[in-house]
A and B are shown apart, each in its own frame.
Chain A
Amino acid sequence: MKIGAIAGITFKEAKRDRVLYLLFFFAALGIIVSRVLAILTVGDRVKIIKDVGLGSISIFGILMAILIGTGLVYKEIDKKTIFTLLAKPLHRAEFILGKFLGLVLTLFVMTAAMTLIFLAIVYAHTLKIEGGLLVAVAYIFIELVLITAVAVLFSSFSTPILSSLFALAFTLIGHLSWGLDLIIKKMEPGTGKALVRVLFLILPDLENFNFKTEVVHGLPIPPAIYLTSFLYGVCYTAFILGLAVLVFRRRDFI
Chain B
Amino acid sequence: MADAIRIEDLRKRFRIGFIPKTREILKGITFSVREGETFGYLGPNGAGKTTTIKCLLGLIHPDAGSIKIFGRPSSQPRSRETLGFLPENPYFYDYLTAREFLAFTAGLFGLGRAEKDERIAGLLKLVGLERAADLPLRKYSRGMLQRAGLAQALINDPKLVVLDEPLGGMDPLGRKEIRDIIIRFKDEGKTVFFTSHILQDIEMICDRVAIIVGGRIVKEGGLRDLVSEKVLFTEVTVSGLPPQAFEGLGENVSTRDDRVLLRIYDEACVDEVVGLVHDRKGRLISLSPRTETLEDIFVDTVTRT
Which residues in A have some Cβ–Cβ distance to B below 8 Å?
1-2, 4-6, 8-9, 12-13, 16, 79-91, 250, 252-254
- With A89-B109, A252-B60 as known contacts, state yes or no: A8 contacts B104, CB within 8 Å: yes
Contacting A at CB under 8 A, from B183-224, are none
Q: A250 — which chain B residues lie within 8 A by C-beta? A: 61
Against A, the Cβ 8 Å flags (1 = close, 0 = not) of B109-152 are 11000000000000000000000000000000000000001001
* Contact, CB under 8 Å: B91 / A80: yes
- Give the Cβ gap from A61 to chain B, nearest Cβ, in Å: 25
* Contact, CB under 8 Å: A5 / B104: yes
A250 to B75, CA, bound (A): 12
A86 to B75, CA, bound (A): 11
Q: A16 — which chain B residues lie within 8 A by C-beta? A: 95
* Contact, CB under 8 Å: A254 / B107: no
Q: Which of B54, B81, B87 contacts A89 (CB 8 A)?
A: B81
- With A83-B87, A88-B80, A89-B81 as known contacts, state yes or no: A254 contacts B14, CB within 8 Å: yes
A90 to B156, CA, bound (A): 13
Give me 20 A-to-B residue pairs in the complex whose CB atoms sit less than 8 angstroms apart, sorted by A's number: A2-B107, A5-B104, A12-B96, A16-B95, A80-B91, A81-B91, A83-B54, A83-B59, A84-B85, A84-B149, A84-B152, A86-B57, A87-B57, A87-B58, A87-B80, A87-B85, A88-B105, A88-B156, A91-B77, A254-B14
Interface status of B264 (Cβ within 8 A of chain A) = no
- Give the Cβ gap from A10 to chain B, nearest Cβ, in Å: 10
Give the B interface residue count (CB, 8 A).
32
Closest to B103 in A: A5
- With A86-B59, A252-B59 as known contacts, state yes or no: A80 contacts B80, CB within 8 Å: no
* Contact, CB under 8 Å: A89 / B78: yes
- Give the Cβ gap from A97 to chain B, nearest Cβ, in Å: 14
* Contact, CB under 8 Å: B110 / A1: yes
Q: A79 — which chain B residues lie within 8 A by C-beta? A: 91
- With A2-B108, A81-B92, A84-B92 as known contacts, state yes or no: A89 contacts B59, CB within 8 Å: no
* Contact, CB under 8 Å: B91 / A87: no
Closest to A78 in B: B91
Closest to A87 in B: B85
* Contact, CB under 8 Å: A254 / B80: no
Which of B59, B92, B149 has the most CB atoms of chain A within a 10 A radius of its CB? B59
Against A, the Cβ 8 Å flags (1 = close, 0 = not) of B56-71 are 0111110000000000
Which residues in B have some Cβ–Cβ distance to A below 8 Å?
14, 54, 57-61, 77-81, 83, 85, 87, 89-93, 95-96, 104-105, 107-110, 149, 152, 156, 162
A96 to B58, CA, bound (A): 16
- Give the Cβ gap from B106 to chain A, nearest Cβ, in Å: 9
Closest to A252 in B: B60
Closest to A253 in B: B59
- Give the Cβ gap from A75 to chain B, nearest Cβ, in Å: 10
Which of B93, B108, B156 has the most CB atoms of chain A within a 10 A radius of its CB? B108
- With A1-B107, A88-B108 as known contacts, state yes or no: A80 contacts B60, CB within 8 Å: no
* Contact, CB under 8 Å: A80 / B87: yes
- Give the Cβ gap from B148 to chain A, nearest Cβ, in Å: 11
Q: B107 — which chain A residues lie within 8 A by C-beta? A: 1-2, 4-5, 8
Q: B105 — which chain A residues lie within 8 A by C-beta? A: 84, 88
Supply 19 further A-B pairs (C-beta < 8 A) apart from A16-B95, A254-B60. A2-B107, A6-B108, A12-B95, A79-B91, A80-B89, A81-B91, A81-B92, A82-B59, A84-B85, A84-B90, A84-B91, A87-B59, A87-B87, A88-B105, A88-B108, A88-B109, A90-B77, A252-B59, A254-B54
A212 to B67, CA, bound (A): 56
A18 to B105, CA, bound (A): 26
Closest to B88 in A: A83
A84 to B77, CA, bound (A): 13
Q: B109 — which chain A residues lie within 8 A by C-beta? A: 88-89
- Give the Cβ gap from A106 to chain B, nearest Cβ, in Å: 15
Q: B14 — which chain A residues lie within 8 A by C-beta? A: 252, 254
Closest to A94 in B: B77
- Give the Cβ gap from B275 to chain A, nearest Cβ, in Å: 61
- Give the Cβ gap from A229 to chain B, nearest Cβ, in Å: 35
Q: B96 — which chain A residues lie within 8 A by C-beta? A: 12
